[in-house]
Amino acid sequence: MTPFILVLSSPSGGGKTTIARQLVTNRRDVGYSISATTRAPRPGEREGEHYYFLPRDEFMRRVSAGAFLEWAEYGGNLYGTLRGEIERIHAAGRHAVLDIDLQGARQLRGNGAGAVEVFVLPPSGASLAERLVRRNTETAEALRRRLDRAADEILAAGEYDYVIVNDDLEHAVQQVDSIIEAESRRVHRLAHLPETLQELRQAVETEARTHPSVNAGS
Ligand code: ADP
Ligand code: 5GP
């Protein structure tokens, strides 16, 4: 089966990173696309695991070199998906999960990457604010900016292929899991379908000629 790109977007704090990490843990056929960013690492974030942390001039050098499938500015920092990441994941036969913002998803849509796009909504405004506060990664000012931005981003959910609500985490992961299952069965992704169908057709024809119960009266 031809692996595909799965985009997960949500307002900051919506839970896309948590869902993406859980999917990678649960499924062998999914790989997490590690983005490059100019933002400083948060406590506990490790180079090459959560992000590739790059100085701005190095990030822009890679933009000029065409190394990014998409990139965008968010909260004064640059974020981007490296083409090499997707190649690495697809070469291993896995679907690539991209935890990216709305601008990145729009760029992918424009360049014909054939990505499956899922928008993750918080169950309520209060729970979004509460989760962001509890994550304890932003200053009060950055929190306000992220929430202001979230209010606008939510309206873009209708541009995506699927919308899920991240109320119970396990249920949300299950729903994305089901989307991956369904998308995996799409006819155009089944690279060996014609050969499989020919073989099965021949096998059924053989049964018609040779099965004892079918041929009992002839
Ligand atoms: P995002 O990547 O969209 O900014 P995160 O995945 O970092 O969001 O989630 C924000 C915070 O909310 C994290 O602390 C995470 O553990 C928590 N969280 C995510 N999903 C749920 C959920 N369904 N219920 C409760 N807390 C959640
Ligand atoms: P954070 O600073 O919370 O890790 O990420 C901020 C925002 O940047 C989130 O909406 C996240 O999805 C987005 N983001 C992370 N990596 C990328 C990327 O490679 N490309 C784009 N366009 N956005 C990204």
Same domain for 156 and 201:
no
Q: State the distance from the centre of ligand 1 to the C-alpha of 110, rounded, in angstroms.
A: 29
- The per-residue pLDDT for 112 is 85
Q: Based on the structure, what is the number of domains in the chain?
A: 2
Of 90, 146, 96, 99, the closest CA to residue 118 belongs to 99
Same domain for 205 and 112:
no
Q: 140 near 105, Cβ under 8 Å?
A: no
Same domain for 139 and 31:
yes
Same domain for 215 and 139:
no
| Residue bearing tokens 């079918």 | 214
Bridge partners, 96 (sequence order): 5, 31
Ligand of minimum distance to the alpha carbon of 129: 1
Same domain for 174 and 216:
no
Same domain for 121 and 209:
no
Q: From first to last of its 218 residues, what are the pLDDT tens digits of the chain? A: 789 999 999 999 999 999 999 999 999 999 999 999 999 999 999 999 999 999 999 999 999 999 999 999 999 999 999 999 999 999 999 999 999 999 999 999 988 889 999 999 999 999 999 999 999 988 999 999 999 999 999 999 999 999 999 999 999 999 999 999 999 999 999 989 999 999 999 999 999 999 999 988 76
Same domain for 199 and 174:
no
Same domain for 201 and 178:
no
Task: Decide: 145 in ligand 1 pocket, CB within 6 A.
Answer: no
Same domain for 132 and 63:
yes
Q: Which two tokens stand for residue 126?
A: 């209060």
- The per-residue pLDDT for 1 is 78
Among positive and negative, which fits the CA dihedral 133, 148, 99, 67? Answer: negative
- The per-residue pLDDT for 185 is 94
Same domain for 138 and 209:
no
Same domain for 86 and 45:
yes
Q: 130 near 147, Cβ under 8 Å?
A: no
Query: What type of residue is 195?
Result: E
Same domain for 90 and 9:
yes
Q: What is the CATH number of the domain that holds 77?
A: 3.40.50.300
Q: State the distance from the centre of ligand 1 to the C-alpha of 165, rounded, in angstroms.
A: 12
For ligand 2, residues with CB inside 6 Å are: 12, 35, 39, 70, 72, 74, 79-81, 99-101, 103-104
Q: Which domain holds residue 214?
A: 194-218
Q: Which atom of ligand 2 is nearest to the CA of 137?
A: 3
